[in-house]
Structure 1
Amino acid sequence: MDKIHINELRKELIKNELDGLLITAPANIRYISGFTAGADARLLLTLEDQFIFTDSRYRDQVWLECPSWVYQEEKPPGLEKLSDKAADLHRIGFEEAYVNYAFYQKLSQIKPVIWEPVRGLIESLRRIKTSAELAKLREAARIGDEVFIDILSVIRAGMDEKSLADTIVHLLRQKGCEREAFDAIVVSGENAALPHGRPGKKLISPGDMVTMDFGGIFEGYAGDMTRTVGIKPATQRFKDIYQKVREAQQIGLDTIRAGVGGREVDQKVRQCLQKYGLDQYFTHSTGHGVGLDIHEAPALSFSSEDTLQENMVVTVEPGIYIPGWGGIRIEDTVVVTLNGIEILTHSSKELLNI
């Protein structure tokens, strides 16, 4: 898979009149090389060669994970070997979002190289997934669905939010994920009014809504799903708002196809909620891309300039958050197709009262 990515990136280097690119973002390192310890490595990709700079702890790992890359033993922040490989190049790009000023000052001392800041060069390639990437995203989603089924038999009034979140994380790993994609969000009752609330010692009570937003990493790729369930006896207000959020989410799903703008999807969802006087309580974007990062391009938001393309992977996750009452969010991860979507997360969205 990395050979496809390397070839595409080299085309971008030529297009941008660069002789090479220094890659420092861990997700981008994994995308281009397959190396999984990107926080302790750097890559230098040129039009002819490809070097990986890391320390001796990872020598064998480099040979196993990315044998086509030339190993250079150099522990960050060392620059001696990088300087040697860069010295014959004229213009080298660096990922400006992942290079601090102190490191840039060191780079600028490598003469006669001209260091050019670049933004989004690799991220733009990551938007459209290969068949191998899609297979990993499907598996991450499948595991999430299995976890949700198991959780339905665990959740009950009297348990605290953190215990439920810990159970979710345990199940994700038990079923094959290498780790969680983000800290699991489990919020209940009034806490559910916090879109990214942290699970705490609050006890789940009868009549509460419980929002669970979670996902695991499978071979580097993230799953992401949210479901909100009710604890008996569910109130009529919860039932009514739940159906309206579900309607808005379905409109978002129905809008997506290749060629549609991310802004248009967001607008359709907001128009549905506005019809019910709920749009003021929808305080975040409709969705985001998912891949090696849990949040990546494209965006489904009011300010998005992205146009959806086949094999992009995005979430659709409208939510309503009412201070003093609670909140409801429903989220699926989907693949964009020419004429619609492939839904990856298949957990029930029926109003469940437990």
Structure 2
Amino acid sequence: MGNNTRINNLRKLIKDQELDGLLVTDPANVFYLASFSGDGTLLITDEAQFLVTDRRYIEQAEAEAPEFTIGDIAETDWKLLTQKVSQVGFESAHLTYQSYLVWSGIIGEKLKSTNMLVENLRMIKDEDEIERLRGAVRIGDEVFQDVLAEIRPGVSEKHLATYIEHRLRIRGCDREAFDTIAVSGQRSSLPHGKPSEKTLEIGDLLTLDYGGVYQGYSGDMTRTVAVNKSCPRIRNIYSWVLEAQMAGVEAVAPGKTCREIDGAVREVFERANLIQHFAHSTGHGVGLNVHELPSVSRKNDRILQENMVITIEPGLYIPGWGGIRIEDVVLVRGNSNGHEILTNTVKDLLII
């Protein structure tokens, strides 16, 4: 899907909102619509499309966003650009109050709040986006195989996190999609725990949650392993998390709601009398941002559509003992399964 198609789809949403234009300030949305990776703001109207940036990025903008009229922010008269429109939307989820006051002073009463217009378009990926996501996920799989050789008693969580981030870049990612999670032992009960100087011990659980950005698109995967040895309780809890994760994946199909996917996971944990240790929703959309629409939660009745890309990542977290999470990236497809699992790393309990 080219940028012009995306812009025309956005124009339909702008018209549905009874607006004449949209001010786009979120960097991911700017990139989605213009392929511009610098610092800039878009103004999309029914008749025109402008990209305004500062002089450092003019040459870059002209090369990356040929469909747009490029302007220098120091010389742009926003009132002139908006004189033919009566109402201009702004991205309320991304504009600070201070920035709103600035824009309001420039554009005036024409400025109206909108909510997630571009993000709603971004939920359904085109084939180019899907291939980039495949690349990001593939690199995550490869890095997991790399890091297995580093897992041993005496190695610190920080070392493993740093090693993962280094390997993501070596294998082709531009940067990390989010702060790498590497937590072990009792600290593995922290769903978003930060890597510490704690060193791995025999019998520890180790949870690794990471992803890299490949050609603008984010990977995201989680695996939990046992260090050197396991025990009956680890194997039992792990089996329930794996069953719940597979139930969530199997439920994914066009026409299903996010609530139904989340419910398939919760049914397993309720049956195991472990639901009290499930501390978050089942998953989220992934794309230009590692967390984007749709939220795969019990509060969301959004219907899945073909070419949405989501994560399925249930976990159980028991303070004083530890935690286990398993996460795959899943593509919604109109095939016999209703989905394709992009993550290829084994999900059986590994004892390293």
* TM-score, normalised via structure 1 length: 0.96
> CA deviation digits over 1:7-56, x for unaligned, max 9?
1111112222221110001111111111112xx21110111111111111
Amino acid corresponding to residue 307 of structure 1 in structure 2: I
Change (3 A) 1:110 1:201: closer
2:300 maps to 1:304: yes
Amino acid corresponding to residue 106 of structure 1 in structure 2: V
Displaced runs of 4+ in structure 1, greater than 6 A? Answer: none
Instruction: Specify the alignment match of 2:58 in structure 1.
Output: 59
SS at match of 1:108: helix
Amino acid corresponding to residue 18 of structure 1 in structure 2: L
Q: Choose from 322, 345, 348 the match for 2:346.
A: 348
Deviation of 1:59 (Å)? 1.1
2:244 maps to 1:263: no
Instruction: Specify the alignment match of 1:72 in structure 2.
Output: 71
1:21, 1:148 → 2: CA distance? 42
SS at match of 1:97: coil
Counterparts of 1:279-298 in structure 2, within 5 Å, are 279-298=275-294
1:243, 1:30 → 2: CA distance? 41
> CA deviation digits over 1:144-164, x for unaligned, max 9?
000001111121111000000
Matched residue count: 349
SS at match of 2:93: helix
Deviation of 1:217 (Å)? 0.4
> CA deviation digits over 1:285-341, x for unaligned, max 9?
000000111111111111112111110000000000000000000000010112411
Instruction: Specify the alignment match of 2:143 in structure 1.
Output: 147
Amino acid corresponding to residue 280 of structure 1 in structure 2: Q
2:178 maps to 1:182: yes
Instruction: Specify the alignment match of 1:27 in structure 2.
Output: 28
Q: Choose from 207, 214, 238 the match for 2:210.
A: 214
Deviation of 1:111 (Å)? 5.9
Deviation of 1:109 (Å)? 3.5
- Does the 8 Å contact 2:78/2:107 carry over to 1? no
Instruction: Specify the alignment match of 2:153 in structure 1.
Output: 157
Counterparts of 1:165-204 in structure 2, within 5 Å, are 165-204=161-200
RMSD over equivalenced CA pairs, Å: 1.4
Deviation of 1:86 (Å)? 1.4
Amino acid corresponding to residue 210 of structure 1 in structure 2: L
- Does the 8 Å contact 1:72/1:81 carry over to 2? no
Aligned-residue sequence identity (percent) comes to 47
2:225 maps to 1:229: yes
Deviation of 1:112 (Å)? 6.8
- Unaligned stretches of 5+ in structure 2? none
Deviation of 1:80 (Å)? 4.7
1:327, 1:117 → 2: CA distance? 41
SS at match of 1:212: strand
Amino acid corresponding to residue 44 of structure 1 in structure 2: L
